[in-house]
Structure formats: structure tokens, C-alpha cells
Structure 1
Amino acid sequence: MGLYSIWPFLIALIVCVGLVAFVLRMRNPKITTLIVAPIFLYLVSAILGSAQLYFMGTMLLGICIVAFFFAHFSLRGITVERTATTPVARGDQVEVRVEVTNRDRLPKLFVRVRCPMPEWLRAEQETVAIAGLWPGQRSTVRVYARALKRGRYALPPVEVVGADPLDLFQRLARFRAPQEVVVHPTPEAAPSLELLGDDLLGTVAPRRVMRPGHGLDFHGLREYRPGDDVRAIDWKATARLSRLITIEFEPTQVGDLVILLDNREKLQIGTGPNSTLERAISLAAGAAAAVLEGRGSVHLRALGDGAATTVSAAAGDMRVLMDALAGIRAEEGSLQALVPEDVRGRTVLLVTPSAGPEVVATVRQATAGGGQAVALLLDRAAWTEERPASGIGRYFRRDAAADGDAESMAAMLHDAGARALVVGRNGLSREHAMRVWEEMAS
């Protein structure tokens, strides 16, 4: 008879121990306190025979139960829509708008919205709280991030967290709202690029287009007009005549430009926005912007999925080219595969971090086809303290042929009949980039 009288207490003790173990695994101090406290009160009341302690324990346990069901239904009927500003330039601010709508009949309180961001979109604050959503009400949450690197970024799912008034229990829901943010590279004029002459702008091409007022030869002086480049102002003439006087240059010829962007993975050095690949893409964007501004045409060739891909753009199509440059990644492939079959009458611009023999072979292949070759050689010595941008090779791999001297390679290319310029890692022409973006916007 004694065994039958004690077994309910044994079962209750086992259930309490299991419940305590489960609560402790949740690692929530509030829940632990509110569940362990009623169990303790029940045990004490059973020993002392106090009805008040039973009542107090039941009240605490009731609070936990009500809070659990409140949190369980806190996200029912919630819908999420997301939009983002795209495309943007590197360094600009990205605005992500999340619209949260309550389509349930009950109000939703204490809702938190979190917008996780990719690595190179640095958010000021990812989580925003919404005090309450009444039935049918829509609330807009804005999250701002800084684009630190060009690329195409797929935004992760939006996380919405619902909770009870005491924040004891939480419910997490992820809403997949597909959204891609395109970050364009910064168009950069290479140092002393103008010294290469008009060859860079495609004057070898038989079909030529006039690019008025942007040459290198002095033409004359005239009064400043709104929109003129302030760098062309003649300050001596301005001081003498007491009005703004600008220098006018002879028009430049612009034709076809073929850009060969060397994005082979084994050559890339550096990480993030300071890698050789990012520098090469910025240089390619600057050269393309100069040609398209002069109403020429640009053909960009780079490696994609192991083969050469081509993106062509004419005057007014800068957006198309910038979108293509934003999506370029380091790939495996051959440099000579980038040279198109027909380069007659075109200027071929090679942007590469390599100083190996394949560069000379590529330049000779371009010139043999009837084109004019120009090479921008990224000085790998400026990135020697960095490691390759991706893959296990960032720890072990180096391409021996690419570790040559860029200055020596430039001399070899000159002997082969090509123009060559060695480019370091310093300096982005922000003024030039802003001018390009203003022209794109207009």
C-alpha cells in the first residue's frame, strides 16, 4: 500500500527533472526562473501543506503557458516584401526597404525585423523593432549599408522575430524575398594614361568618331560654360580678364576598343577591394568610360566558366558594361583565349597582373591580327605582402611565370611594338568616377 501511495510523487519528480533539464538546455534565464520557481513552490507546499504556495506556483506556470501561446501565434498572417536600391557605385549607400504587413485578425506586438547583409555590404544596423502592427497595417523598415566592394550580391532571407510581452519565448521566421544588389566598380583613369596618346582611344580603327574638345593638343581659349571641366580653367587668363576662361583642346578620334581583362584566378593577389582583380576591373571601367564618352564602342572580354565571354557596348550603353564588370570573378583559363579572331583596325587593351611569357604571346597575337596593342601591367611587387584573393592557393600557390619584373616586361612589349604602362596599387580617381556616374545618370 505504501508503494501505491508513493508512485505519483516519483512520476512527478521524474517529470520535473526532465522539465528542468529541458529548460536549462534552452539557456534562457527568464524561462528557467519562471518554470523552476513553480516546481520549487510545489515541492515546498507539498512539504508544508500550504495552499498559498500552490496558488503562487500555478500563477507563475500560467504566465509561462500564456506567454508561450502568445509567441506561437505572434507571426501568423505576417507577410514581407523587400526592395533595394540597385545598381550603386562602390562606396555608395544601399537602402534596403522591408515592408511588413499584418494580414491576421489579431494585433502583433513586439516584432523585430532583421536584414542580414553579405560580407561586403556593411550595414549600420541590421535589426529594427516594430512596436505593434494592427490588423491590416503595414510598416516599412529601412536598413542602410555601405557598399565596400563591387560585385553582385544576393541578399539573404529576411528574419522576423515575434515574442510575448515578457520576451520569454520567441518565434523566428525567415522570408525569402529574392533581391540582388549590383555594385559597380569605380571607373579609374590609369596614372599617365594620356601619355599613351590616341592609340588607347581606338584611333587605329578605320571607322573613326570625333570626340570634340577632349584631345591633348591646345586649340584655343574661350569663356567658361556650365558643365566644363574645372581642371581646364586657365587661371592666368581668368585673373587677367576678370572672368572664367577655359582651355579648349583639339578633338580626339575615337574608334573601337577591345579590352582583354586577365581574371585568371592563379594570378590574383590581395583580398577584398584591394586585390589586383579589383584594380584591373577599375582600370578597365575607366578606359571603357573614356571611349564610350567619345561615342566609340567597347568590347570587353574576360574568362567565365573556363571560356572567354564577350560583352559589347556602344555610346550610351555604359550601364551594360558596368553590370558585366560587377559580375566578373576570378576564373580558370588561358590568357590567349581572350584574343578575338578579328581585331583588324581595333585597339586591344590588355589589363593583366602577369609578367610572364604569355603576355608577350598575347600581344603578338593581337598585333599579328592587324590590331594595335596597349598593355596595362599591374606591378605585383606592390601586392607582395598580400595573398591570392580566393581558394587554397592563397596559402600555397604562386604562378612562377607571373612573378617576373613588370618593368622588364614593359620593355619587352615595347620591343614587340606595343604600348605598355606599369600600374601600382595606389589611388582611385574619385573625381573621374563621379563625372562618369553623372553622365550615366543624365
Structure 2
Amino acid sequence: MTGAEAQGPRPEREDGRGPVRTALSGLTTRGRSFLAAGVAAAVCAYVLGQEDLLRVGLLLAVLPLVAALVLYRTKYRVTGSRRLTPSRVPAGAEARVHLRVDNVSRLPTGLLMLQDRVPYQLGPRPRFVLDRVEAGGRREVSYRVRSDLRGRYPLGPLQLRLTDPFGMCELTRSFSAYDTLTVIPAVEPLPPVRLSGEWAGYGDGRGRSQSLSGEDDVIPRGYRHGDDLRRVHWRSTARYGELMVRREEQPQRAHCTVLLDTRRLAYEGSGPDSAFEWAVSAAASTLAHMLERGFGVRLLTDEGGASAGEGADGFAGTGQDAAESAGLLLDTLAVLDHSDGAGLSRAFDALNGGAEGLLVAFLGELDEQQAAMVARMRRRSGVAVAFLLDGPGWDLTGELMDVPDTRERRARGLREAGWTVVDVDRGAALPELWRRAAGRPYEPDRVTVPGQGG
């Protein structure tokens, strides 16, 4: 949850208008009509010499002016706060915004109209009418927002519209604080399968390796209470004259690099159902899945590293760091957009300088040069899996186009270089493709009903 509080309200003077012009600009249609009718009646009374009509005209003209002056000079001490539940939501999910208005003055307020500014992607602008708020009283309202598109959306500032009892004048007073709603990519749970060649060990994402390999190269240490006597190194014990044991095998963290192709020319279409949005959501699901399994993960794009706050070996995937790392990566993916680059050379350079390990790539359409570069990336990784998004197959008209032969040649070239290639068509489910990458057929969840055979 996040919250913001602002003191106010204060009149808006965006164009530097004076108090008189500010008060008159708040006249409603009713107030302007009364003012125009009063002026017209006064002119007619002067021409016709009718004193009674002149009094009526003056009354009609003065009433909206007095209402505007009184409303402008009204000094309500009102505080407003906003609370998001939650402040980070997946695309397509709803968040609730709670608004609270407190009257901290000694006088009751009049009719208040509450309005919050929201981007059009989150829906219509919410408006509420609040009746008289007593001194020291409060009012709470809430509304829901939803977006199918990733991004960071500002909420606010909160606005109060004050009106007089006759509806002659209406002034807007604004708070200064605002909040931010983060819409992250949708994350799908992936099946716990092991990709071909993935390290084994304790857990699913770690391996063990000795510090040095040969018996003569073992670096012993002094015996400590509780050490296993089977680990005693007798040669070193005889040399140093005290009991020595072999050092324990050092755990080595497994690494996973997720490469996301963001080139604009590599994808067709736009919107929440486009190929690019599918790739972003798939990358987010892969990163979250690998963090849960204890991997150290790294996010790369065609422009190089994409994550701030990342360590030399990527983000940690154990303990409490896993949740924090997942949050940072999802926040990065929430605002990731197309790049104007034409190649994957920066990603290739970044992989050459990084640690070896599992490489999972989500790629758009590749030409011959970029396909050859992706094939060379395999040399720096133990296992490489490429999800190729078929551009023509993602045609948003709904008609599946023929796959060109060039795409088959690109995929065959990657397979020959050692990649595991999975073709992605529109509407494909990531868990099914993940099983296919591991060489297993897709097995939907089954429910067994007691008492029935089968």
C-alpha cells in the first residue's frame, strides 16, 4: 500500500488571474444566465423608466456576484489522502483507490464535488458528490481502476469543487500530492520441469563443485568439533602435526539469462494481444520461475542490460532477496518499450562478458545476419532455449498466414548451433511451450473423482 496526504485546498491559478477574475470564472451556466438576465432587465428598466423592473434586474445581477465572492472567500481547511490497494497489479487486474477527505476546520463545509485525475488507460475520471461535512468529520469513497497495458500511471492530484447553495458559482481547488500505480506484466506459473543439461544438485537450481580437482591440490583446514572423521586428510595431518580435514565442497549458484528482443521491426501489431506483449509477459514468467528455483537471474535486451540495481552475477534467487529481485525485474518490465535498434550486437557483447549458464531467449523475426549472431550466442551458455515468435502467425486479423520458408531455415540454423528452438504462434500457452522446451508433452491437470474408474 502507498498513501499520500496533502494539505489544502488552494485555488488554481494556472494563468495568473487575479481574485476577481478567478471568482467570476467560476460562474456556472445558471449564474451567467442570472447575471445576463439582470443586466438586460436593468437596461430595459432604464429605457422604459420602470423602477420596479430595475430593482428586479439589480437583484438578478447581484445574486451570482455575491455567491461568487462568498464562495471565493470561504476558507475550508480540508485534508485529502489517497491509498492504493495494491500499488502494483498485473495487467488486466483491478486495483482499488481509497479517497479520504477530512474537515479539520471549525465550520461545516457546503456541498463538495470530489474528482480524481486518472489517465484514460485506467478508465473514466471518477467523480463523487459529498454532502455537508461537519466540523472534524470525514468522508471516505473508493473506486476501481484497471488497465490491460503495462506501465506506470500517475493518479492525482485530487480536486475539490466547491459550489454555493444556489448553484450560481463553482470553484475548483486542488491538492498537490499524487500516487503512482504500476501495472506489471502478467506472470504465469510454469511447470517444474528440468531443461536439458540444467545443473543438478541440492534444490533444482544449484550445483556443487570442489575448489580444486586433484587429490594433491586439496587445501585442508584445521579440525573443528563436529567434523566428520571420514574427511580427515591424513597426509596433511602428518605434515602439520595436527588433525586436518578436507575443505567442504563450495556451492556454486546456477545462472539464468533471459534475453528479450525488443526491436520494433521484429514484431507486428500492438496492444495487449500483440506478439511483443506476449514476449514481455513470457520473460517475466521465466524470471519469476527461475528466481523461485534458486537461480541467479539476469535480464538482457537487444540494447544490453535492462535492470538497475543488478549485481555482478545477476539478481539473487534465495531467501527474502528473491521476492525483492522479482519486484525490481517486474518494475523494469512494466515500462519496457520497443527499441529502434536493428540488431542484437549489444546483447551479444553483454553475453560475452557475463557468466555461463542457462540462456532463455524470446525473439521476434530474425533476418539472416541476426540469426547467425543468435547462433553464436550459444557458445557462451550451457543450455540455450529460443522461443521464436512467428510474425505472420500473429496477424491480428485472425487469419493465420503461411509461414515462409526463411523462418524454417532460421530455426534449423539455430538448432544446428545447439539451441532448443520452440515456435510460438498466436494464442499459444507458455506452460505448454515450457514443457515442449524440456522435451515433454503437455499434460493438462487432471482431477480424479473418487469412486469412478479410469
Q: TM-score range by the shorter chain?
A: 0.5 to 0.7
Shift of 1:74: 5.1
Q: Flag the 1:139–1:177 CA change in 2: closer, same or farther, 3 A.
A: same
Q: Distance between the aligned counterparts of 2:289 and 2:423, measured in 1?
A: 19
Tell me how far apart the structure 2 counterparts of residues 184 and 323 of structure 1 sit (CA, whole Å): 6
Identity of aligned residues (%): 24
CA shift in 2, pair 1:68/1:27, >3 Å: closer
**Residues 1:291 and 1:314: Cα distance change in structure 2 (over 3 Å):** same
TM-score (norm 2): 0.66
Residue 258 (structure 1) shift: 0.6
1:335 aligns with 2:344: yes
1:158 aligns with 2:158: yes
Q: Is the 8 A contact 1:154 1:178 kept in 2?
A: yes
Q: Which residue of 1 aligns with 2:358?
A: 347
Pick the aligned partner of 1:324 from 321, 332, 349.
332
Matched residue type, 2:280:
I
| Structure 1 stretches lacking a partner, 5+ long | 1-23, 213-253, 387-402, 433-442
Distance 2:328 2:257 in 1: 15
Q: Distance in 2 between matches of 1:99 and 1:189?
A: 37
2:294 maps to: 295
CA contact (8 A) 1:209 1:295 kept: no
Task: State how far apart, in whole Å, the 1-side matches of 2:141 and 2:260 are.
Answer: 40
The residue aligned with 1:57 is 57
Displacement of 1:309 in angstroms is 2.6
1:273 CA drift (Å): 1.2
Partner Cα distance (2:26, 2:186) in 1: 48
Q: Is the 8 A contact 1:407 1:422 kept in 2?
A: no
| Residue 156 (structure 1) shift | 4.0
Q: Are 2:254 and 2:357, in contact at CA under 8 Å, matched by a contact in 1?
A: yes
What are the within-5 Å matches in structure 2 for residues 117-266 of structure 1? 117-123=118-124, 126-188=126-188, 198-199=194-195, 203-205=197-199, 208-211=201-204, 255-266=254-265
Which whole-Å deviations, capped at 9, do the CAs of 1:147-170 have from their partners, x for residues lacking one?
322222222422222222232222
Q: How many residues align?
A: 343
Residues 323, 93 of structure 1: alpha-carbon distance in 2 compared, 3 angstrom cutoff: same
Going from structure 1 to structure 2, the CA distance change for 1:179 and 1:40 (only over 3 Å counts) comes to same
CA distance in 2, matches of 1:376, 1:431: 12
**Distance in 2, Cα, partners of 1:371 & 1:356:** 25
C-alpha separation in 2, matches of 1:341 and 1:69: 71
- What's the counterpart of residue 383 of structure 2? 372
1:376 shift after superposition:
0.7
Q: Give 1:295's aligned amino acid.
A: G
3-state SS in 1 of match to 2:338: coil
Give the whole-Å Cα distance in 1 for the aligned partners of 2:261 and 2:105: 55
The alpha carbon displacement at 1:54 in A equals 2.3
Counterpart code for 2:285: G
Greater percentage in helix: 1
**Displacement of 1:120:** 2.8
Deviation at 1:405, TM superposition (A): 4.6
Partner Cα separation in structure 1 for residue 52 and residue 281 of structure 2: 76
Any idea what SS the aligned residue of 2:119 has? coil
Cα distance in 1, alignment partners of residues 305 and 262 from structure 2: 11
Q: CA RMSD in A?
A: 3.4
Per-residue deviation, residues 85-130 of structure 1 (Å, max 9, x unmatched): 211122221111222233444432221121222233235x611111
Say if 1:102 and 1:41 are closer, same or farther in 2 by CA, change over 3 A: same
Change in CA separation of 1:157 and 1:362 when aligned onto 2, cut-off 3 Å: farther
Would the alpha carbon gap of residues 119 and 421 (structure 1) be closer, same or farther in structure 2, given more than 3 Å must change?
farther
Query: Which SS does the other structure have where 1:413 is aligned?
Result: helix
Q: Secondary structure at the match of 1:273?
A: coil
Q: State the 1:314 CA deviation.
A: 0.8
Residue aligning to 2:393: 382
Aligned equivalents of 1:266 and 1:72: distance in 2? Answer: 56
SS state at 1:120 partner: helix
- Tell me: CA distance 1:119–1:65, structure 2 relative to 1, closer, same or farther (3 Å): closer
Give the conservation status (yes or no) of the 8 Å contact 1:204–1:345: no
Counterpart CA distance in 2 for 1:78 and 1:170 is: 17
Unpaired stretches in structure 2, ≥5 consecutive residues: 1-23, 206-252, 398-403, 434-454
Deviation at 1:415, TM superposition (A): 1.8
> How many angstroms apart in 2 are the aligned matches of 1:96 and 1:158?
12
Aligned partner letter, 2:317: A
Letter in 1 for 2:114: V
Contact 2:102 2:136 survives alignment (8 Å):
yes
Match of 2:271 in 1: 272
| 1:408–1:385 CA distance, 2 compared to 1 (3 A) | farther
1:115–1:143 Cα contact (<8 Å) kept = no
Q: 1:417 to 1:429 in 2, by over 3 A?
A: closer
Query: Do the aligned residues in 2 keep the contact of 1:94 with 1:147 (CA within 8 Å)?
Result: no
State how far apart, in whole Å, the 1-side matches of 2:357 and 2:425 are.
Answer: 26
Matched position secondary structure for 1:166: coil
- Judge which range, 70-79 or 91-100, deviates more: 70-79
Offset of residue 343 of structure 1:
5.1
Partner of 1:30: 30
Offset, 1:404: 8.3
Q: Please, which of 314, 318, 321 is the counterpart of residue 317 of structure 2?
A: 314
Residues in 2 aligned to 1:98 and 1:86: alpha-carbon distance in whole angstroms = 14
- Contact 2:32-2:64 at 8 Å conserved across structures: no
